[in-house]
Amino acid sequence: MIVEALPEASWILEDLVGFSVLDSQDIAARLGPDRFALFDSQGRQVWTRDLDRTHRWSARIVAAGPCLFALREGEALAIDSASGVISSRFATGDLYMDRFDAAGDALYAVEDYEQRRYVSAYRADGTAPQWRAPLESAPFGEVVATEEGIAVRQRMGVEIALFDRMTGDIRWTIDVGELGAHREVATGLEREGVIMGTPLDLAGRIVLAVRRGHVISVDAETGTVEWTAEVPIANPTSMIATSDGDLCVIDGSYFVRLRAKDGAILQRNEISSSMRAAGADLPAVLVSMNRSIIACDKMGRRLVEIDADSGNPKRAWEIPYVLDGSHDPRTSAGRLLLVDQSGALRAHAL
C-alpha cells in the first residue's frame, strides 16, 4: 500500500482545548482557559465570548437546538449558538466534567448532590432541575442523549439504563450478562462482555459493542433486544454508522460491516496486515467520509482509507505532526478535523 503525504490543512485553529461539530457543520470551540467561539465550516470566526477564569471550564461543549452548553464546577452555561450571547447560567451539583450531553433544549449531566450521585436534567432557561434520578453506581463512559431517553452505562459498563427525558424515570435496563455476552473472570479483576466505547444512537435503536465479539441492537423505545451479532472481534475499539445506515466495527485485526436492521454480516475483512504495512498502530478510531471509512491509528502516525462496501484498505496518509489523543477525529463539510499536541485543530481535505 502506498503511503501518501497528508494534504496541507485548509485552515487551522490555534490554542484549542475542546470542540464540537454542530449539525450545521459549524464548529463550537473552547480556546484557551476562558474563551468560547463559533467557526463556520471554512474556519472563519462567527463570534467569540470571553468568560471569567475563576474556575476551570469543561473542555467538552455540547449543542441542543439553539444552545451550546459548557460546564464548570457547580455551574452550567447556556450560550446562544447564533449570536454567542449568554442566555443563562445556573447552579448545579458537583458535576462530572465529561459526563454530560444535551438534547431538545435541555442539559443532562451526572452530578453529586447532597451526598448522592444523580443524572439530572436542566432546562436551557436556567430554571431549577427538571428532575434528578439516582444512579446505582458510578457512570462508565459518556452520557448519551437520544430522542427516546438518556443512556447511562453503569456497573463498570456491564449494564446500560435508559432514563426518560421528561421525567427521569428508568424506562429500561439491560445487563449484557443476561444476554449471554458477559461473564466475570474468576479473579474478578477483568470482565468479559463490558460494553465498549460510546453507545451508538441510530434511527430508533441503540447499538452496543461488547468485549469478546458481540454487537447488540436494542429498540430505544422499549428496551427490546432486536438482534445480537457475533463478530470475530475481540475488543471492538470503534463503531460507526455509514452514510447508508449500516454499521462498521473495527479492532486491531478485523473490519466488519453489519446490516443495521438485522445484524447480518455484510463484509468481514482481516485488515491487520494492510494496516501494519501502512505503518499504522492499532487499534484505530473510525470516521465516515462519503463511501469510505477513515481509520486513524491510536498512535497518531497514519490515516488509512477503507472502502465501506468491500472493507478493503485503499490508501494511507502519513500524519506529519503528533496527534492529541484526547480529541477523536471529526469531519465537517467534507474535511477531516485533527488536533495536534500543540492544541491546533487542522482541517484536511482528503
> Could you read off the pLDDT of 261-315 as tens digits, one per residue?
999 998 888 776 666 666 655 556 778 777 788 887 666 678 888 887 777 788 8
- Low-confidence stretches of the chain (pLDDT beneath 70): 54-55, 180-193, 234, 237, 243, 252, 272-284, 297-300
> CA-CA distance, 249 to 233, in Å (whole number)?
8
Own/partner long-range contacts of 267-270 (Cβ < 8 Å, ≥24 apart): 267/309, 267/310, 267/311, 268/231, 268/232, 268/311, 269/310, 269/311, 269/312
Cell of residue 228, nine digits: 445480537
Q: Provide the pLDDT for residue 320.
A: 92
Bridging pattern class, strands 313-318 and 3-5:
parallel
Dihedral angle at the C-alpha atoms of 143, 43, 322, 3, nearest 10 degrees? 110
Q: Provide the pLDDT for residue 188.
A: 45
Provide CB contacts within 8 A for 25, sequence distance 6+: 40, 41, 332, 333
- For the sheet with 205-210, list strands across it: 195-202, 205-210, 214-219, 225-230
Tell me if 340 sits within 8 A of 321, measured CB to CB. Answer: yes
> Could you read off the pLDDT of 102-148 as tens digits, one per residue?
988 899 999 998 889 999 999 888 777 889 999 887 777 778 898 88
> CA-CA distance, 321 to 73, in Å (whole number)?
33
Tell me if 56 sits within 8 A of 71, measured CB to CB. Answer: no
Q: Provide the pLDDT for residue 187.
A: 38
